[in-house]
Amino acid sequence: MREIGIGVLGFGTVGAGVVEGLFKNGDLIAGRSGIFPVVKKIADLDVQSDRGISLPADILTTDAAAVIADEEVDIVVELVGGTAIAKDLTELALRLGKPVVTANKALLADHGAELYALADERDTGIYYEAAVGGGIPVLRAQREGLIGNQIESIFGILNGTCNYILTRMEREGLPFDDVLADAQALGYAETPPDLDIDGIDTAHKAVLLASMAYGAAVPMEACPTSGIRGLSKVDIANADELGYRIKLLAIIKRHAGSVELSVEAALVPKAAMIGSVNDSFNAVFMKGDIVDDTMYYGRGAGRLPTGSAVISDIMEAAADVLHEAGSPIGITMMREHASLTYLSADEVQKRCYLRLTLADEPGAMAQVMNVLGEHSINVASVIQKELHPNGAVPVVVLTEQAREADFCGAIETISSLAICKAEPIRMRLEDFEDESR
């Protein structure tokens, strides 16, 4: 039996989950791998708070640099979060030739290319399974299981906090802010939670998936991003009535000569598998040209699920260290060895849900339909009920596929009409005609 020394930087929610997992299942892991992972040191600014784990004496310190330099530490686990100190500490470890395991998607999405270059130069690696999909081993499935495939599309529900909020708003009719507070208490949310609800956390994960899929460091600017802030209960109820649910989706599609990327709230059919992914669960639907459709599902956030993914990386890094494997080629696909062309947001073809508030007068609906027709937008269905509060008529339109630029033009014109009584609401609709999703 060989031992491997672990230094943990950051003893917050995920750090505590990793240590708890290693203490609980260390023997099991050692039995399976022949390598015993020993936590040698843990660094955190807070060395007083009780995390509910009994630790050996002198293991906790405030000095992260000393943990990295400690001769007994073979693998550095970065769980500090953020992109400033975390980047310095990651670079320090890599310069010493020590592999870094991280759950930090923001760090890799913003600085992945340079960190990978540094890891390569020092013949070591960065391992980041926990950065995408929490406890779901989706990156491992992608880079190993699907290595023989051209990835045609990826649809992801990648943020546990948003999915938890959307699920409870729909089921219980609760206001956004109350559910967000619960998600924070459960340890799902980022600090600050704006990263979750504005879609940025999902975009970080989307660019990591796209980078892995297409072998290039995909920049955040390539991923138009919006979140669920300000989402109205009215739209959740309308979607429900029409047989849909609203989900925050990461969308990655390969087109001839370009890649389409976005993060946005979208209506998905309740009957589709993706529509059944609720609470803090995440799911990734990946289609390869050889394998066809695949799906990965599990807890996307939280202390132990994320800890599980970190532990899997610790053991992969441990095997690489003990076998002197150096820079793990399978993981370092974020290096810029290919440049990609991204589909312009204007050219994206999509279906949409529109909620309009029209004046209660003859010809109002006709004016809207004319504008949609002039912008080549074909209407799939229209719902208008007899209830007309304050002389205004709520109208819900589902469209067929049209260009984003045409939707933008149509909405701008509709907004300027005198019969338009409130800012139109528009959301993408993904109908997943392919029943496997």
Site for ligand HSE in 95-134 (CB under 6 A): 134
Spatial distance between the Cα atoms of 341 and 331, rounded to a whole number of angstroms: 22
* CA–CA gap between residue 106 and residue 83 (Å, rounded): 7
266 counts as binding ligand HSE under rule CB under 6 A? no
User: Least distance to ligand HSE from the beta carbon of 350, Å?
Assistant: 24
Helix/strand/coil for 172: helix
Q: Could you tell me where the DSSP H helices lie in 242-299?
A: none
Burial of 210 (C-beta count, 10 Å sphere; 0-12/13-18/19+)? buried
By CB under 6 A, is residue 201 in contact with ligand HSE?
A: yes
Q: Which residue, 112 or 300, has its beta carbon nearer to ligand HSE?
A: 300
Nearest to 95 by CA among 66, 64, 120: 120
**CA 302, chain centre distance (Å):** 14
Among 200, 301, 333, 397, binds ligand HSE (CB under 6 A): 301
Asked if residue 192 has a cis previous peptide bond (ω within 30° of 0), the answer is yes
Q: Which residues have C-beta within 8 Å of that of residue 212, sequence separation ≥ 6?
A: 139, 142, 143, 333, 334
Q: Is 205 a catalytic residue?
A: yes
| 160 in contact with ligand HSE (CB under 6 A) | yes
State the number of binding residues for ligand HSE (CB under 6 A): 11
Minimum distance of ligand HSE from residue 161's CB (angstroms): 3
> Residues 131-150: x/- map of binding to ligand HSE (CB under 6 A)?
---x----------------
User: Which one, 153 or 282, has the nearer CB to ligand HSE?
Assistant: 282
Angle between helix 200-214 and helix 105-121 axes, rounded to 10 deg: 40
Shortest Cβ 132–ligand HSE spacing (Å): 8
Q: Does 296 bind ligand HSE (CB under 6 A)?
A: no
Q: Are 9 and 80 in contact (CB under 8 A)?
A: yes
300 touches ligand HSE by CB under 6 A: yes
What DSSP character marks residue 84?
S
Q: 87, 98, 105, 205: which is the annotated catalytic residue? A: 205
What does DSSP say about strands 379-384 and 35-43: parallel, antiparallel, or unpaired?
A: unpaired
Question: Does 198 participate in binding ligand HSE (rule CB under 6 A)?
Answer: no
73, with CB counted inside 10 A (0-12, 13-18, 19+), is buried
Of 40-48, 153-161, 268-276, 428-436: span binding ligand HSE (CB under 6 A): 153-161
Tell which positions 170-189 bind ligand HSE, by CB under 6 A: 188-189
Q: What's the closest the beta carbon of residue 352 comes to ligand HSE, in angstroms? A: 26
Residues lying near ligand HSE in the complex (CB under 6 A): 134, 159-161, 188-190, 196, 201, 300-301
Catalytic machinery residues: 205
